[in-house]
Amino acid sequence: GDSVTQMEGPVTLSEEAFLTINCTYTATGYPSLFWYVQYPGEGLQLLLKATKADDKGSNKGFEATYRKETTSFHLEKGSVQVSDSAVYFCALSGRMNRDDKIIFGKGTRLHILP
């Protein structure tokens, strides 16, 4: 079945460092790919998405490119801030049938030190 694998955390970086959180997927067909973020004490919120190969999703300085050849959707940010500390979830939505659910990775906790 469809699945998402993302790097284990926690990831600890200093402010202004470069961030990469790896995400790879297994899916039949051509899924849509997402990054969701969960700040402390809150539910998840959509950070960015990409719906087809080579699409780049971007928001709040974060970017991720849909790479079909490597089945990856790595999250990057050039200069992180303390306020980026959160848990990040990679997810996919299959397109094989109308009832496909959104599948999430296990999440990567990010700590940014001032």
User: Taking the complex as a whole, how short is the minimal distance between the CB of residue 51 and other proteins, in angstroms?
Assistant: 8
Does residue 43 touch other proteins according to CB under 8 A? yes
- CA Rg, the chain, in Å? 14
Residues recorded for the chain: 114
Identity of the residue numbered 60: K
45-52 — which CB contacts under 8 Å span 24+ positions? 47/75, 47/88
CB-wise, 97 or 114, nearer to other proteins?
97
Binder to other proteins among 11, 67, 76, 104 (CB under 8 A)? 104
Q: Are 57 and 89 in contact (CB under 8 A)?
A: no
Contacts to other proteins from residues 74-93, by CB under 8 A: 89, 93
Does residue 40 touch other proteins according to CB under 8 A? no
At residue 68, φ and ψ (nearest 5 deg) are -70, -35
From the list 16-24, 63-71, 78-86, 103-111, the region that binds other proteins by CB under 8 A is 103-111
Q: Which residues sit at the interface with other proteins, rule CB under 8 A?
A: 32, 34, 36, 41-46, 49, 51, 89, 93, 98-107
